[in-house]
Structure 1
């Protein structure tokens, strides 16, 4: 993002904050529904200092990120090899695709009740739910990337003596990285949304649980704190992914 676009984004954010300030201070909307920015800031300082319901803010954030990180790592470890095999071998894809296409359109929370029955309300069911939510977009992005690899590139590697493993490791996998990073950005968004929803249903810690619990006591200032923090964390995650993409796939868009 160049300086001009950054300036436009900054002005847009400041305009929204100014509008929020004016509407909340004017009394046009009850503070129960729209607390002032100062009230939200004070609630943020309160949560940082005292924690929430006996646990520090860092613990709630850490619990959410731990669930997200473990689940996403599981999804990556399974989706990448299966996606490579499915994209390269039509029979493997024919074997796996019916199951992917069956569960992919299902809302993750629709089968969360089954996971809770099987794995309990602890982190195991949440991690399983998040891994399933992350898997399909990752798998499909890798399959799409493999299908775009020019056959001449593969045949050229074979003519130079590359075996099947060399082709996968040094030709196909690097060629799928642009699509893989696109899939990662899409998948992390879906998984993050699912994480918050799962914590709102069955949890005693995490950002989603904190927001839901605050709503029971009409603490809209805490709710705003939670929502803003979740949004900022999501932005930071996306920035990290884009930085990794820039460093690991410098040729993207230049081919």
Structure 2
């Protein structure tokens, strides 16, 4: 004889759906998790600001070297608004400086993608070219931007060209290296299957190698954009205003430490947003990544 579970009037039959009325939905679970992590980040930020203010109040270092959070916020506001007839810093608002730098980064990264992906495909698929070109890519990847900025200024002057070229040279090697490594890592059975179906070298590259390598290529692009972002201050040391790197460099010359920190924070926060956008593009373009 079958007895019903305690608290119910009947035994669950084979067609009876489980009772999920009290179970939390996946969306609400994700929301609670996001709120929990957001609260943790807020607490950590508050602690860091309190420690920062305590160090300033204790006068461990002179105020000109370590300004208070309030000083940095005031400079951030002044650089972002029109005050006493002065527009931001150097005649441009902070958001305009940041926008110019982001435009340079986008241009340099786009050129790096257009050149780096084909270069990586050649290195990854043509052995003689790899022997010649791979050391060149490695050589460029190890050079700090300031090492060749002066040469670019001699060649192209002090306008936009040397800045864009510096960002291209900084961003291209990670893309080429990631593409070459990804193409070499394409599973051999996929290549052999495509060849058995009659695919030639071009069709094999475009229909098998490139799609299979796309997730790692996009990771290389993300890394390259980050490299370009870290190089923008060096790129804008020469005639870089407007530009966030030029603004930071100019403020450093006049010991405006609070403005320098405000500019650094603006670069970092915008970098977080940009990386989140690139992650979104990556998830949209290769939704199969990380899944079996």
TM-score, normalising length: structure 2:
0.81
2:156 maps to 1:124: no
| Aligned 1:136-155 pairs, distance under 5 A | 136-155=173-192
Q: Which runs of 4+ in 1 moved over 4 A?
A: none
| Deviation string, structure 1 residues 176-228 (Cα, Å, up to 9, x no partner) | 12211221222222211111122124423211111121122222221121011
Q: More displaced, 94-103 or 226-235?
A: 94-103
Higher-Rg structure is 2
1:68 to 99, 105, 115: 105
Aligned pair 1:44/2:76, yes or no? yes
Alignment of 1:178-197 (within 5 A): 178-197=215-234
Alignment partner, residue 24 of structure 1: 56
RMSD: 1.9
- Number of corresponding residues: 255
Question: Distance between the aligned counterparts of 1:44 and 1:34, measured in 2?
Answer: 15
Q: Which residue in the other structure is 2:254 paired with? A: 217
Q: More relative contact order in 1 or in 2 (CA 8 Å, sep 6+)?
A: 1
Matched, 1:156 2:193: yes
Partner of 1:53: 90
Structure 1: gaps spanning 5 or more residues: none
Partners of 1:84 and 1:235 lie apart in 2 by: 29
Task: Specify which structure has the higher proportion of helix.
Answer: 1
Q: Which residue of 2 aligns with 1:90?
A: 127
Provide Cα deviations, 1:73-121, integer angstroms capped at 9, x if missing partner. 0000011111112211212212312322333322221111111100011
**SS of the residue aligned with 2:236?**
helix
Which moved further from structure 2: 160-169 or 186-195? 160-169
Partners of 1:218 and 1:98 in 2: how far apart? 42
Residues 165/7 of structure 1: CA separation in 2 closer, same or farther (3 Å cut): farther
Aligned residue number for residue 80 of structure 1: 117
Q: Distance in 1 between matches of 2:71 and 2:145?
A: 35
- Where structure 2 has 5 or more consecutive residues not aligned to the other structure, the ranges are 1-29, 82-86
